[in-house]
Structure formats: structure tokens, C-alpha cells
């Protein structure tokens, strides 16, 4: 039950926000759990580092797409858990549509002779 080592890829600019919003659509999670989830779902292709993750989380929080809430774990550790807001859901839908257009457009270029 181990995830195979795959070649890690650079995230396209703006894609991280989409991945974070989609990850939080399922369940509120804290920073490292968001990175874990993205790594798990992409089977290790995207390994989001703290230097990208936290600025993105704070930016999304400021924009109102996600909301941070402090909770205490069973080990008495204070963690900040993020939840997708209704504004974030709208943003996710919009970004999904943009992404689909990008995929189609890039596909058209690659398949053109």
C-alpha cells in the first residue's frame, strides 16, 4: 500500500489554488493534511511544499474562499484547519471551468499538425 515514486512536476501558476479549493471541498483540513491529500490523490506527482502552500492558504483566506479556524488536536497541539466557504465554492466552479478550457486549448495545440 505504498505510493510509487513518480516524477514530481512543477505546478502551473494558479493551479495550486484550484487544487487546494478542490481538496477542501470534501472536508476541512489543516496545512500538512492538505499537502498530504494532494500528494495522495496525484499519487506523488504534486508534492506541495510549505513555501507554496502557506502563502496560497493565506491568500485564499484573505480573498474569502476559505476560512481558517483554530482547533486543538488530541495531542494538545494547536492547529489551523481550513474550510471552503460559499464564496470558495463559486471560485472553485469558476476555476474548474477555466481549467477545462486550458486543457482543451492545450490539447488542440498539441494535436494540431
Partner 1 sequence: MPLLTKVANWKSIFRRRRIEKDLNDELSAYVDELTERKIEAGLDANIARQAALQEIGSLEAIKDQIRRQGIRPSRVRVAGAIACAITLSFAVGVAVSSDVLRWIDPLIISALPLRAPQEPAQSPARVPISYPEFGPDNPPPWVGIWHFQIPYSDPGTLRETLTIRAVPNGIQLTRDALDLNRKRIYEDYTAAYVGKPIAFGNPIRATIKIQSRGGDVHQLIVVDRNTLMFARKCGNPECNRWRTTDTYFKDNTNGWR
Q: Residues interacting with partner 1, by CB under 8 A?
A: 1-2, 4, 26-27, 30-32, 37, 40-41, 43, 49-51, 54-55, 58-59, 62, 64, 70, 73-74, 77-80
Q: For partner 1, give the closer residue by CB, 69 or 107.
A: 69
CB 3 within 8 A of CB 42: no
What's the CA dihedral at 41, 43, 49, 53 to 10 degrees?
-10
Query: Which is nearer to partner 1, 93 or 105 (by Cβ)?
Result: 93
Q: Which helix (H) or strand (E) holds 46?
A: none
Q: Smallest distance from the beta carbon of 96 to partner 1, in angstroms?
A: 14
Amino acid at each position: 500500500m505504498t505510493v510509487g515514486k513518480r516524477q514530481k512536476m512543477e505546478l502551473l501558476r494558479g493551479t495550486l489554488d484550484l487544487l487546494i479549493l478542490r481538496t477542501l471541498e470534501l472536508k476541512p483540513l489543516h496545512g500538512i493534511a492538505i499537502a498530504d491529500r494532494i500528494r495522495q490523490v496525484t499519487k506523488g506527482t504534486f508534492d506541495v511544499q510549505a513555501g507554496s502552500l502557506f502563502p496560497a492558504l493565506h491568500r485564499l483566506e484573505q480573498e474569502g474562499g476559505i476560512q481558517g479556524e483554530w482547533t486543538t488536536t488530541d495531542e494538545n497541539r494547536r492547529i489551523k484547519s481550513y474550510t471552503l466557504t460559499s464564496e470558495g465554492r463559486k471560485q472553485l466552479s469558476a476555476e474548474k471551468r477555466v481549467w477545462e478550457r486550458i486543457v482543451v486549448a492545450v490539447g488542440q495545440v498539441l494535436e494540431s499538425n
